[in-house]
Amino acid sequence: MEDKVILIVEDEEDILELLEYTLQKDGFETIGFLNVDKNLEKIFDEEKVDLILMDRNLPGCEGTTFINDIRKKGYTTPVIYVTAKDKDEDILEGFESHADDYITKPFNVKELVARIKAVIKRSTKDIAILKIRDIVYKSSNKKFFIDDEELELTHLEHDLLLEFMKNKDILMTREHLLNSVWEDSLDKKMKTVNVAVKRLKAKIDPDGEKNYIKSIRGEGYIFC
């Protein structure tokens, strides 16, 4: 876990200091903020942040609002909310706001560290290079290649192909694809999935010989 950078946003100074001390002792690098200010978002351009520990009760800004905002701008850093908001509806709202985990205060420090490591381990399963048959995905530049030729994909097609490759040999329903790839898009219709998959097929298999994506009538698709 060495060299992993954790951004901590926590308005209680004693808790922030405890978290920084504990995590640094465990081999992490930390960046601490007491609130959401204009410099916070700049961190993502200056540092490779591996995880965000985000309080929700912050002066002037709810933690989920900040996370939702950076997600819209394309930042995908894993997040754990560490907060006193412990009602069922609060926890549900947290997971709906991109939480990879949700920890309520007061918390056990050892458990927190274990859960941080678990989230980082899961997130780093997005391997630097993902290869299935002759399609290669390089996460360093977020590009796909077939026989060393770069595929010219739209943002949507990129996300769709990556979702397929991460779920090889698994039946992907249209509902799942809508929720995981289209997310908050207004254009969430079943026929939208069909059209997007058809266009993707034409780009990765223009001759129709490789049959990467199989259509399962009334069910969805399998990438194999």
Question: What's the pLDDT at 187?
Answer: 53
Q: The domain containing residue 52 runs over which residues?
A: 5-123
- The answer on 174 and 133 residing in a single domain is yes
- The answer on 166 and 84 residing in a single domain is no
**What CATH number is associated with residue 212?**
1.10.10.10
- The answer on 137 and 93 residing in a single domain is no
pLDDT in tens, 168-212: 888 888 888 888 787 655 455 667 888 999 999 999 999 988 999
- The answer on 197 and 93 residing in a single domain is no
Question: What's the pLDDT at 2?
Answer: 47
Question: What's the pLDDT at 120?
Answer: 87
Question: What's the pLDDT at 6?
Answer: 95
Could you write out the three-class secondary structure of the chain? CCCCEEEEECCCHHHHHHHHHHHHHCCCEEEEECCCCCCCCCHHHHCCCCEEEECCEECCEEHHHHHHHHHHCCCCCCEEEEECCCCHHHHHHHHHCCCCEEEECCCCHHHHHHHHHHHHHHHCCCCCEEEECCEEEECCCCEEEECCEECCCCHHHHHHHHHHHHCCCCEEEHHHHHHHHHCCCCCCCHHHHHHHHHHHHHHHCCCCCCCCEEEECCCEEEEC
- The answer on 89 and 142 residing in a single domain is no
- The answer on 22 and 118 residing in a single domain is yes
The residue out of 99, 123, 147 marking a domain boundary is: 123
Question: What's the pLDDT at 141?
Answer: 79
Question: What's the pLDDT at 1?
Answer: 41
- The answer on 134 and 115 residing in a single domain is no
- Tally of domains within the chain: 2
* Residue at token pair 């946003």: 9
- The answer on 99 and 202 residing in a single domain is no
The residue out of 89, 106, 123 marking a domain boundary is: 123
- The answer on 185 and 139 residing in a single domain is yes
The residue out of 108, 123, 138 marking a domain boundary is: 123
pLDDT by residue for the chain (224 residues), tens only, comes to 447 899 999 999 999 999 999 999 999 999 999 988 878 878 877 788 889 999 999 988 899 999 998 888 777 889 999 999 999 999 999 999 999 999 999 999 999 999 999 888 877 655 567 788 889 888 777 889 998 889 999 988 998 999 899 888 888 888 888 887 876 554 556 678 889 999 999 999 999 889 999 999 888 999 98
Question: What's the pLDDT at 152?
Answer: 92
pLDDT in tens, 73-85: 777 889 999 999 9
